[in-house]
Amino acid sequence: MGKFFLKTFFFIVIPVIIINYLVSGYLKINLPLKNKIPVAGTGSMYPTFPKGNGNDDKNLGDQIAGFAYMTAYPSGIKFGFNEYLSYKMQRGDIVSFSNDKVAQITKEVYGNESGYIKRVIGLPGEEFLIKNGLVYIDNNPLVEPYTNLAHSTFGGEFITECKGIKIPEDSYIVLGDNRKGSSDSRHGIGFVKAEDIDHVVPINEQKGSLDKNWRNTSLDLSEVSKIRLDGKKFLELLNVEREKNGFSNLKYDTRLETSASKRAFNILKYNDFSSEAVKSGYTLKTAMSESGYENVLWGEVPVQGYYQAEELIENLFEFPESKKFVINGDFDDFGVASFEGEIEGCPTQIIVLHFGGYVPPEYGKDVIDSWKQLLAGLQDIRPGWIELKDYEEFYREHKKDIDRVIEIINYRTERVRRIVNKMENHQWLDDSDRRFIDEDSKLNDELSALSKKVNEVIN
């Protein structure tokens, strides 16, 4: 009877209780159903999931590189204020999620709103730090076999290099496995709340299915596993992308390599990534000038971290602004350098890309005509002043003033003729031209004063 009573209680009485709670709204059941979730070809989760073909963001976003069989999240039974059989998120879990920030980013990059698939790396309450290409949790380095390369995790605008961040309760830090080509918590996404997550692949379910391309991590914490950039290889890959976008190839210029090296040193020394060199005072223009490089257009991209050529291309092309910059058709020359050191006691490396180029100027007709009129005026008055030398007695008395007037006329004529010639031939004015323009008003005032003085004597 006792055995029969237990069976009766569990199989007859409990369903009645559950039904009553369902009717009254106290019981919520989320079944752990598995769904087939498409993975876009962006490559942010490579090597766990494959990459798509090409480098166009929108095209890659439209490609389906594979599928992830993911469990709906959250799952379990909520009975009153208690939860039963619910899954607790673990480090290494792969999750899909969406929120307003993700919608905004995907709309901008891929043309339509969608969710993201990333890996949970930081858990609620933990201290999260990125240093020397590694992730540290509560000051302990993580060994991560699923990442594309060792020493490949670097900071962004939200989680900066070498600065610890406390993860709030009910929030996570998620990263892509392809750390150099992933828009994730380090950047615009920030923390991901548990309520934003809709599916999960637990880490213990990934073994034997998703770990086929994971790495041997035996040397991950060693210096020998640090990545080095091949600058010439990077330029080859960059030129391929420039050609695809209809722009000419860049030429490698050792002077720009030298200027990049000088800037890298100063960026690290003063922890000054600003283009204006606010702290160091050592600007891009100064570095190029000291390296013997002169041009009308120049640009710089400083990157903190360790990159192979392919990775750096992926990283730069992950973000619309940097992609647009490096394929800019106005650039002709290129150089790159890297420098290892520390920023506020944090070991790191700076890679600096330098670009130079030439674009012919377009001067308005009114501007050119005004300079031509000035030139004609100077040429008209010169003969009269030269003629004064024939009046020997008058010239002897006023030689200093007359010679100075002729000197000013000759100098201004030469400089104005040079400017007119450059403008008519669509050439840029250089520093000496600009200095003359700045001083010409004073020369004109001096010429007017001397002319008035001499003319008063004549009249």
Tokens (6 digits) for 147: 């990442």
- What single-letter amino acid sits at 129? L
* End-to-end C-alpha distance for the chain, whole angstroms: 141
* Residues classed as catalytic: 44, 118
Cβ proximity of 308 and 149 under 8 Å:
yes
What Å distances lie between residue 352 and 256, 259, 297, 317, 382, CA to CA? Answer: 10, 9, 17, 16, 53
Given strand 116-122, what is the order of strands in its sheet? Answer: 34-40, 64-72, 197-201, 94-97, 116-122, 171-175, 192-193
